[in-house]
Chain A
Amino acid sequence: MHKLISLAWVFALLGILAVGGGTAVLPEMQRMTVSQFHWVTDKQFRDIYSLGQVAPGPNMLMVMVIGYRVAGYLGSAIVAFAFFVPDCLLTLFANRMWLRYSESPWRHAIQRAMAPISIGLMLSGTYAIAQLSIHNLMSFAIAAATLSVLMWRRVNPLLLISVGGLAYLVFFVATAHSATP
């Protein structure tokens, strides 16, 4: 019971703090779920994040798997509710107010101000995933190759990410094979 309440308030808090989207809240999510509550390890956090990349829709649905690890299906339902519902309600009402004050210069000021903060937070989120996944030349090469391909042209991200995963897998199977003749 205590665990369920912790899950609910932690993910409600993370949802409210997700200014700039899901990537922006990743470092805080890692800090709370790994270091503070020990619900998952760093490696598990990374693996669950990767699962979110392979599933369709918003990547952040991966929070449900953290809930599942802690408290089964009930845990994932609570996490989904806590993470998404408060934000949806906030957006519903804030947007209606936003429309009423659409001519206010302050609306523009807030949007201008939040944009660079969001970008900085997204960089931090990217950095957090990089720290969890880039430990050797091969993983660095996969990240660099993905970046280069996407800078060059639009490719389905699922395809790119699957190729990245398979490349790393093949690399390890191949090196393990050559190490044990």
Chain B
Amino acid sequence: MNDAGAIDDAEAAARDRPGLGDIFKVFLMAGAISFGGGVLAYLREFLVRDHGWLDDDDFLDALEVSETLPGLNSVNMSVIVGDRMRGAIGAAVAAVGLMLPGMVVMMTLGVLWEQQRHNPEVGHFLVGVAASAVGLLLTVTLQLGHKQFVRPLDLMIIAATFVAVSVFKVSLGWVLLVMGPVAIWLYRPRGAVETAERFTHLRDRFHSHRSHWRH
């Protein structure tokens, strides 16, 4: 959260750092039992509640960084948390643990699908799964963006991004190169108001994530 907190956390982490085996086990479990984009909810449950390796603020801070950087949020979280516990090796162990069960299942399903993909029943089932996934994705997007959807400036950025990608089929690289700097300029630091705003923002994020995970 702040420098003093970071130093305390570092000292605490140095005192009882979880072993690489423990890190691997926890992330392996999260990777094995989470479905439909629910990885983050399990990570929070395991890391914050069950093991106490992080507190809620640390978790949300790491989550904000994960969401801002490119890559899957859950994999980025594993890297950040693993690095915090045990440095680069910890990060590698956490990320591999998280992805290993899914990789095995995914490849098994992929090979089976290669053999069965002309089977119309398999096709119908997978269309139903994709349609269901649309409902799931929409829910996740609405929950994750519920603060942004009610702020006019954010809503304009959301709409511009969506229209550029989905209507005008602008390639993602160009969208990010143009929208990124424009949005950062719109939100550029403007003095003391920012500090107060930052706290409100963090608190909002906390509540939104809470409601996202609790139900």
Within the complex, which residue of A25, A76, A134 is in contact with B110, where a contact is CB–CB below 8 Å?
A: A76
Q: Is B12 an interface residue (CB 8 A)?
A: no
Selected contact of A124 from candidates B132, B134, B161, CB within 8 Å = B161
Residue numbers in B under 8 Å from A133 (CB-CB): 127, 130-131, 133-134
**Contact call A123/B158, Cβ cutoff below 8 A:** yes
- A74 within 8 Å of B by Cβ? no
Provide a sorted-by-A list of 25 A–B residue pairs whose CB atoms are within 8 angstroms.
A25-B172, A27-B165, A28-B171, A47-B130, A56-B33, A57-B31, A57-B39, A58-B72, A84-B95, A95-B62, A110-B68, A114-B68, A114-B180, A115-B148, A116-B155, A116-B183, A117-B180, A119-B149, A120-B158, A126-B137, A142-B128, A149-B135, A163-B132, A164-B131, A173-B124
CA distance A76 to B162 in the complex (A): 30
Q: Which residues of A contact B141 (CB under 8 A)?
A: 23, 119, 122-123, 126
Q: Which residues of B contact A46 (CB under 8 A)?
A: 126-127, 130
The docked-state distance in angstroms from the alpha carbon of A23 to that of B144 is 13
Chain B residue nearest to A43 (CB atoms) is B123
Name the CB-closest residue of B to A28.
B172
Of B14-22, B47-55, B100-108, the segment with at least 4 beta carbons within 8 Å of chain A is B100-108
Partner of A164, one of B107, B129, B137: B129
- Asked if A4 lies at the interface with its beta carbon under 8 angstroms from chain B, I say no
Are A127 and B166 in contact, CB atoms less than 8 angstroms apart? yes
Please report whether the interface of chain B is mostly helix, strand, loop or mixed according to DSSP: helix
CB-based contact B117/A111 at 8 Å: no
Complex interface: chain A residues within 8 A of B128 (CB): 139, 142, 164-169
Interface residues on A, range: 35 or more
Q: Could you tell me if A95 and B165 are in contact, using CB atoms closer than 8 angstroms?
A: no
Q: A103-B2, A142-B128 are in contact. List 13 more A-B contacts (CB 8 A).
A: A13-B173, A19-B70, A23-B141, A28-B173, A49-B130, A57-B103, A58-B31, A58-B99, A124-B162, A146-B133, A156-B36, A161-B133, A171-B124
With beta carbons under 8 angstroms apart, the residue of A65, A116, A154, A172 that contacts B154 is A116
Asked if residues A123 and B162 are in contact (CB atoms below 8 Å), the reply is yes
Contact B194 A108 (CB under 8 A): yes
Please report the C-alpha to C-alpha distance between residue A119 and residue B95 in the assembled complex, in whole angstroms.
24
Task: Select the residue from A56, A59, A109 with max chain B CB neighbours within 10 A.
Answer: A56
Q: Is A177 part of the contact surface with B, judged by Cβ < 8 Å?
A: no
- Within the complex, the shortest CB–CB distance from B142 to chain A, in Å, comes to 8
Closest 6 CB pairs of A and B: A157-B36, A57-B102, A168-B128, A164-B132, A146-B135, A120-B161
